[in-house]
Amino acid sequence: MKDVKKSPLRKWLSRVITVTCIAVFVYAAYGLGEIAIDYYKNRKMLSEIQEKFYDSAHALGEVNDDGSVRSGFDQLLEENEDAVGWLTIDGTQIDYPVVQADDNEQYLTCNFYLEETRAGSIFLDYRNDIDALDEEKNIIVYGHRMKDGSMFQHLTKFLDEDFFHEHKTFTFDTLYESYEAEVFAVYHTLTAFDYIQTDFATDEAYEELLTDIKEMSKFTSDVDVTTDDQIITLSTCDYELDQDEGRLVLQAKLVKK
């Protein structure tokens, strides 16, 4: 049987397809490599901050009567004056500094050192006043969900009922106070639900939000939350209900240690 020779056009098309496939592969590999490097740098940076923080964490148990900043945060504040606290949840990778800017945009794409990164930072809502947190009803903290398990990805663990009931508390330290947070709700929602409301005209308005939260929670908790209490809201993106407007929310009652 005679070999069928390719026409010049077919040879040209074959080469174009081959070159295109190689280009797509190289581009994809470059993109994946860039993401992997970004993840590595972020984990390394967070590890360094954790080491610095825990080197001075012995002072965190001290709350100053004069309302001054606790000495355990001196090192963090030297690194970034936007530092306002530290969040730790046992059984997860969540053991991070909390920062705050003048808006809720800056730390979506900046790390603790204000360097551009897709992981962003764990940050406090700009509407919360860290200097008068006792007067706040709803303290809101945001973070991305990263595929390497970092930032707020491990909030998804609370969607497991056993984990929810076995990890009933977490720690929230601020410049001035230390809190134990008693978990009472976890749920998927959309941004249309104003779970990040910070200003309540009346106790009734706050009570209505608390009632809605308890009804939306996937699991029932024995934590008693009333209008006299403060809550902390941990919020991250979620795709269960919507790619853009979906959110995963974990909420807990704040109790001073």
225-244 confidence digits (pLDDT tens): 999 999 999 999 999 999 99
Q: Which CATH class is domain 38-256?
A: mainly beta
DSSP 22-49: HHHHHHHHHHHHHHHHHHHHHHHHHHHH
Please tell me which residue, 104 or 53, carries the higher pLDDT value.
104
> What b/e string do you get for 98-119 counting C-beta neighbours within 10 Å, with b at 16 or more?
bbbbeebebbbebbbeeeebeb
Can you give the pLDDT at residue 40? 82
CA distances 232 to 10, 32, 148, 235, 256, Å, are: 65, 35, 25, 10, 12
pLDDT digits (tens, 9 = 90+) for 125-141: 999 999 999 999 999 99
Q: At 247, is the secondary structure helix, strand, or coil?
A: strand
Return the H-helix or E-strand segment holding 203. helix 203-216
Say whether pLDDT at 153 is over 80: yes
Predicted confidence (pLDDT) at residue 58 exceeds the cutoff of 60: yes
Q: Considering only 14-23, 48-57, 247-256, which range has the smallest mean pLDDT?
A: 14-23
* Annotated domain spans of the chain: 38-256
| pLDDT at residue 15 is higher than 80 | no
Q: Residue 72 is encoded by which pair of tokens?
A: 């355990």
Mean pLDDT value of segment 77-84? 96
Please name every residue paired with 142 in a beta bridge, in sequence order, or none if there are none. Answer: 123, 235
Quote the mean pLDDT of the chain.
89
If pLDDT is split at 50, 70 and 90, which confidence band does 72 have?
confident
pTM across the whole model = 0.85
Cβ pair 178, 257 in contact under 8 A = yes
Is residue 147 pLDDT above 60, yes or no? yes
Contact call for residues 172 and 179 (beta carbons, < 8 A): yes
Q: Which residues are catalytic?
A: 237
In percent, how much of the chain has pLDDT > 90?
72
Classify the C-alpha dihedral 161-174-229-204 as positive or negative.
negative
Higher pLDDT, 38 or 140: 140
CA distance 196 to 178: 22
pLDDT single digits (tens) 183-229: 999 999 999 999 999 999 999 999 999 999 999 999 999 999 999 99
